[in-house]
Amino acid sequence: MGLRLFVAIELPEVVLDALRGIQDQLKGRAGAELVRWVEPEGIHLTLKFLGDTREDLLPQLEAGIGEACSGVRPIALRLGRAGAFPSPRRPRVIWVGLEPVEGDDSLSRLQERIEAFSERLGFRREERPFTPHLTLGRLREERAAGAASQAARLLVEPPEVPPLSFTAQGVSLMRSTLRPAGAVYTRVLRVPLAGPD
């Protein structure tokens, strides 16, 4: 059994506090009991989920992340609207989107570089388009009759999302350890975004 890994951007405390506030708004609505809410401390922007990974690949992953981050300046991002996958009317995952400030496409380019080196190492390419989002919660009882339609009431009126911006300063390789109370995330390594030398 290897390490359960993913590549992500960790969030500053001010953003985690804002996400906690959005969750609190939603928790007061009908349908909130159907959602397993993510602890705000565990929320991050996933760039690539690697899954079960052999430990001997760690040096190659570190090199790949370093190469992907090479020449990339810190990325200015802002919180966007709240939404759900696959749709607000049939929510399985409730999220807050992230948007680049001033239309900068650095985040998409960085994610594609991470996807490319991961594929070279034998990880399967993600087929869905990259949609930068921060997961607030997941539907608990997807198969229960009417659960999705009940949970859809959560987003009939969008929660208030503060106009908050922050700068992503680095990319982290994270380990996810599954526990009965939920996943615990630990940083394995971090590569700073420093821009051109």
Residue 197, pLDDT above cutoff 70: no
- Cβ atoms 192, 69 nearer than 8 A: yes
- The mean per-residue pLDDT over the stretch 79-100 comes to 91
Q: What is the pLDDT of residue 31?
A: 84
CA dihedral 81, 102, 74, 109 (to 10 degrees): 80
- The mean per-residue pLDDT over the stretch 18-43 comes to 92
Residue 150, pLDDT above cutoff 90: no
CA dist 160 and 150 (Å) reads 20
Catalytic positions, please?
Answer: 44, 133
Q: What is the pLDDT of residue 38?
A: 92
- Cβ atoms 159, 82 nearer than 8 A: yes
Region 3-191: CATH code? 3.90.1140.10
Instruction: Supply φ then ψ for residue 2, to 5 degrees.
Output: -90, -155
List alpha helices for 51-189, DSSP H: 58-69, 106-120, 147-151
Instruction: Supply φ then ψ for residue 136, to 5 degrees.
Output: -95, -35
- Cβ atoms 7, 174 nearer than 8 A: yes
Q: What percentage of the chain has pLDDT greater than the value 90?
A: 72
pTM of the full structure:
0.91
CA dist 113 and 54 (Å) reads 21
- Delimit the domains of the chain by residue range: 3-191
- Beta bridge partners, 97, equal 133
- Number of C-alpha atoms within 13 angstroms, CB side, residue 87? 3
Which are the contacts of 56, defined by CB distance < 8 A and separation ≥ 6?
Answer: none
